[in-house]
Amino acid sequence: MSVVLITGGTGAIGAAIAEEFAKTDDVIITYSSAEERARELKISLHCEAVHMDCSDADSVEAAAEGILREFSRVDILVNNAGISLIKPFLDTTAEDWRRLMSVDLDGVFNVTKAVAPSMVSRKSGAIVNISSVWGVSGASCEVAYSAAKAGVIGFTRALAKELAPSGITVNAIAPGVIESPMNSTHLTENELAALAEETPIGRLGKPCEVARAVRALAENKFITGQVLGVDGGFC
């Protein structure tokens, strides 16, 4: 039985990943503001829920120390926490840019930095980072988001080479457009329908399809430094 830490575990994809691993493993999800949703998942999935602001290194360090003290290890880290921003580049403020980077890219650094040393000491572990199809191809009016998710891919490929001698795999998932409250909040029904039509498989993805891909990468010890598109052929 593995100990699995999933950041941003209250969102659609994070909750699906937690549900997938909770079938067989000890799961810890983190949340920043959705305390009620975290409490619901803790009960329904029989998992642990820990408050963590991934953009705040001190918050991450304190939470990671508590997790390692209680569970003694983290076998699988899933860096899933993220926010989005749909705004023309010329309207994007420095504050918009910094806020998105602090969560989507700095957050991956902060959490990995806090957890990876314990993996290195045990010569074992798996890290799966959630990027995006837009980190691969870029998206109009999502320059900041695309840049952050592209950064996650670069981080993944470089860290995989560095940690491989310690028996740790590092991979990324690049989801396409997934059915989620975040997408339905920021995109109209017509826009979602258009994206589904652009996807060769002819529909949007499901959170559970991302979750199963995360498990596959986390459990295969001969796959590292890879970016797996779970996008219906979009990219």
Could you confirm whether 31 is annotated as catalytic? no
The whole-angstrom separation of Cα 29 and Cα 18 is 7
Contacts of 10 (CB under 8 A, 6+ apart): 29, 31, 34, 37, 38, 41
| Options 145, 159, 163, 178, the catalytic residue | 145
Spatial neighbors of 89 by CB under 8 A, at least 6 apart, are 141, 143
CB under 8 Å to 157, separation ≥6 — which residues?
A: 225, 227
Strands 168-175 and 227-230: parallel
> Which residues, in sequence order, are bridge partners of residue 27?
4
**Is residue 11 within 8 Å of 80, Cβ to Cβ?**
yes
In angstroms, rounded to a whole number, what is the distance separating the alpha carbons of residues 142 and 163?
31
The 8-class DSSP code of residue 120 comes to H
Residues that are catalytic: 145
